[in-house]
């Protein structure tokens, strides 16, 4: 009872906040429309330079002083998912795929957490990968589950509960209550997850199970040590060893002026820059 009231209280506060934010947004829109959509080469250069100057923390500040006319959020996203040095690009390696499968079974859709175990990969990348990966698997599964299929055999050992789950999954999917790739996962609370008698993860585990069985399971040591070697944490990157002391406005100002003097030296050498040839 008390909890209910508390809940309502907080949701009221939230609503008010949202309204305020909306208003603020509208005001901003009236003043100057924030840019949206794909980033240009020029914008990238500017952003990288400003991140180099001020670190990858105060995104609102960076967004303002850079004159990019983007939101802090947008700047952060661009940096984290695209401009951050050390980002790997290209196809996931089999090891990475296996790791993602393993970790997803363990943690569910905790993409940023999973990303931390995959150096050079971002949560967004993994999320996208999983999305397409799972879509494929779901389709394959559908094919196998066709009436004539004998799948019930092949998965019998771990399928004890999944028949009903599959049904409810379908219904939830169709009712729009859950996105098709929301597996729920174990996160860190398996027990809680099954409270309502349903775990999306179970279903996908079925799918993953076969794959994991074919390929050797990844050992935790492998996860915890070997995979966390040299790359910075991309999911929540902190610029070098966090430049906390730099956060003083005075210093910012002096940086700003020296930066302005240099007028974009274009010292930016990002090996993975999409616009650098090769």
Partner DNA sequence: AAGAGATACAACCGCGGAGTC
Partner DNA sequence: CGACTCCGCGGTTGTATCTCT
Q: How many CB atoms lie within 10 A of CB 275?
A: 9
- Distance, in Å, from the CA atom of 114 to the CA atom of 107, rounded to the nearest integer, reads 8
Q: What is the DSSP letter of 198?
A: -
231 lies in the site for DNA, by CB under 7 A: no
39 lies in the site for DNA, by CB under 7 A: yes
228 lies in the site for DNA, by CB under 7 A: no
> Based on CB atoms, which residue is closest to DNA, 81 or 161?
81
204 lies in the site for DNA, by CB under 7 A: no
Q: What is the DSSP letter of 69?
A: -
19 lies in the site for DNA, by CB under 7 A: no
- Spell out, one character per residue from 64 to 103, where the chain touches DNA: x when CB under 7 A holds, - when not: ------xxxxx-xxx--xx------xxx------------
Residue with tokens 């050797």: 216
Strand residue runs (E) in the chain? none
Residues constituting the chain: 278
- What end-to-end distance do the CA atoms of the chain give, in Å? 62
3 lies in the site for DNA, by CB under 7 A: no
38 lies in the site for DNA, by CB under 7 A: yes
The single residue among 84, 106, 121, 133 that binds DNA, judged by CB under 7 A, is: 133
Pair 219, 172: CB distance under 8 Å: no
Residue with tokens 């290209």: 90
> Based on CB atoms, which residue is closest to DNA, 131 or 219?
131
- Distance, in Å, from the CA atom of 50 to the CA atom of 256, rounded to the nearest integer, reads 9
Residue 46 CB, nearest approach to DNA (Å)? 14
> Based on CB atoms, which residue is closest to DNA, 71 or 194?
71
Choose the binding region for DNA from 96-104, 133-141, 221-229, 260-268 (rule: CB under 7 A). 133-141
Choose the binding region for DNA from 35-43, 142-150, 155-163, 260-268 (rule: CB under 7 A). 35-43
Q: Is 240 left (phi over 0), alpha (psi -120 to 50) or beta?
A: left
> Based on CB atoms, which residue is closest to DNA, 12 or 152?
12
Classify residue 127 as exposed, middle or buried by CB count within 10 Å of its CB (0-12, 13-18, 19+). middle
The residues of the shown chain that bind DNA, judged by CB under 7 A, are 13-14, 16-18, 20, 24, 35-39, 57-61, 70-74, 76-78, 81-82, 89-91, 109-113, 123-125, 127-129, 131-133, 135-136, 139, 179, 182, 235-236, 274
């Amino acid at each position: 009872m008390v909890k209910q009231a508390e809940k309502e209280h907080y949701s009221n506060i939230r609503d008010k906040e949202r309204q305020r934010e909306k208003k603020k947004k509208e005001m901003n829109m009236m003043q100057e429309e924030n840019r949206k959509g794909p980033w240009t080469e020029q914008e990238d250069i500017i952003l990288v330079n400003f991140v180099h100057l001020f670190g990858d923390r105060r995104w609102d500040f960076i967004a303002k002083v850079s004159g990019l006319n983007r939101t802090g959020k947008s700047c952060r996203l661009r940096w984290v998912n695209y401009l951050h040095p050390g980002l790997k690009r290209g196809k996931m390696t089999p090891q990475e795929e296996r790791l993602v499968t393993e970790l997803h079974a363990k943690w569910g859709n905790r993409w940023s957490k999973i990303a931390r175990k995959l150096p050079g990969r971002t949560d967004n990348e993994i999320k996208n990968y999983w999305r397409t990966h799972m879509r494929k698997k779901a389709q394959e599964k559908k094919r196998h589950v066709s009436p004539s299929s004998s799948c019930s055999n092949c998965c019998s050992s771990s399928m004890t509960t999944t028949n009903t789950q599959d049904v409810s999954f379908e219904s939830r999917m169709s009712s729009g209550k859950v996105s098709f790739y929301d597996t729920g996962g174990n996160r860190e609370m398996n027990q809680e997850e099954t409270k309502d008698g349903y775990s999306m993860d179970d279903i996908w585990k079925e799918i993953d199970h076969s794959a994991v069985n074919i390929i050797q399971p990844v050992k935790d040591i492998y996860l915890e040590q070997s995979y966390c070697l040299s790359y910075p944490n991309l999911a929540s990157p902190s610029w070098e060893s966090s430049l906390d002391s730099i956060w003083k406005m005075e210093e910012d100002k002096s940086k700003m002026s020296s930066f302005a003097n240099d007028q974009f030296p274009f010292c930016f050498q990002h090996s993975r820059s999409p616009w650098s040839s090769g």
